Amino acid sequence: MSDGDGDAGGRTEISTETDPSVLVLRKGTHGVPIEEYAAALRDRLPDGSVELARTPAAERESIRDAEFVTGMVLEEPLLERAENLEVFACAYAGTGHLPMDRLEQRGVTVTNASGVHGPNIGEHVLGSILRFTRRFHVGNRRQRRREWRHYQAHELQGSMVTIVGLGAIGTAVAERLEPFGVETVGIRYTPEKGGPTDEVIGFDPEALHEALARTDYLVLACPLTETTRGLIDRDAFVTLDPEAVLVNVARGPVVDTGALLEAVRSNWIRGAALDVTDPEPLPEDHPLWNFENVKITPHNAGHTPKYYDRLAEIVAENARRFAECDGDGIDLENQVRP
């Protein structure tokens, strides 16, 4: 935490209160009322104060004196009214939508919701893999036609699954695949850290393509960065086996959409399960909608009825740590800045 005047990221006296105080901003997520998030925080901070700013005017007024704020977004006009802000607990795992440069200038500590999505997105990936393994989409088509006719399927056991990104989501995917008897390769920036997969490699192009050549199911669970943007391009699709399946729960631009269309049309891959697309939302007239072997969900893998509960566990603990800090520094869970 830092000292100084208002424009330079200034602070008033560091709070020495032992009872946590949290301001919740009004935007919710996944169609679940933000009141449920505030309630979950109050349950975990019975001796603290949790204020929900339910209108724009309430946000503008309450954030002026707030030191610990949580929410999905924090736009610059509102940030400029936050005279005493010390911590912003972002309620999303990603922070690219935040004014991070200005937050850094102001000396604000930023945390995220990393780990909240692990179980539900892990299950979404597993369901997507099993759909293609057992070809449930073919069974659905024949049921609609009332057609009792056998079809060939696949077996997951003994397959190779490559997981790009070994954060909370990639780890959850690997853990859920373990009972199925598959081999796993994880791809991360720091392969020396190891991971939950049988093998861990970095983003070196040669190592990446060597893994792709052995891959039956390619799972993308990485953030969108300069390294991962367009990572799965035409060369990657050519390297993949024609029986390989792509599952993308990362971000749409990790995949070159034009190359994906060519791969599907030319039978370079068996299919794709896309929870994210580029562009997003996917336009109604986009050709990706028309392929039976492309399963599209509307960025829905992150939905879980337990979202606010998991998020509140992280944020409540951080609010307690902040309230108890002595001004010499603070160590928060999921801290992304500084």
pLDDT score, position 198:
98
Secondary structure of 231-253 as H, E, C letters: CECHHHHHHCCCCCEEEECCCHH
Domain limits, the chain:
21-116+305-337, 118-296
Identify the CA nearest to 310 among candidates 109, 27, 92.
92
Identify the CA nearest to 88 among candidates 101, 96, 79.
79
For the ranges 114-118, 179-183, 261-265, the lowest mean pLDDT is seen at 114-118
pTM score of the predicted model: 0.86
Do 21-116+305-337 and 118-296 fold alike per CATH? Answer: yes
Catalytic site includes residue 299: yes
Partners of 217 in the β-ladder: 161, 245
pLDDT score, position 30:
84
pLDDT score, position 327:
59
Element (H, E) at 121: helix 118-134
Confidence of residue 328 (pLDDT cuts 50, 70, 90): low
Reported as a single tens digit per residue, the pLDDT across 283-304 is 999 999 999 999 999 999 999 9
Catalytic: which of 183, 280, 313, 333? 280
What class is the 118-296 domain? Answer: alpha beta
Reported as a single tens digit per residue, the pLDDT across 7-29 is 444 443 444 457 899 999 999 98
- 108 close to 85: Cβ distance less than 8 angstroms: yes
Element (H, E) at 257: helix 257-265
Reported as a single tens digit per residue, the pLDDT across 71-109 is 999 999 999 999 999 999 999 988 889 999 999 999 999
- 163 close to 200: Cβ distance less than 8 angstroms: no
- Mean pLDDT computed over 43-68: 96
Catalytic: which of 131, 251, 270, 310? 251
Catalytic: which of 299, 303, 321, 337? 299
pLDDT score, position 135:
95
What superfamily does domain 21-116+305-337 belong to in CATH? NAD(P)-binding Rossmann-like Domain (3.40.50.720)
Reported as a single tens digit per residue, the pLDDT across 192-247 is 999 999 999 999 999 999 999 999 999 999 999 999 999 999 999 999 999 999 99
Catalytic site includes residue 199: no
Identify the CA nearest to 293 among candidates 258, 235, 242.
242
- What share of the chain in percent tops pLDDT 90? 87
Identify the CA nearest to 271 among candidates 301, 310, 309, 245.
245
Catalytic site includes residue 124: no
**Alpha-carbon dihedral angle through residues 215, 219, 223, 229, given to the nearest 10 degrees:** 50
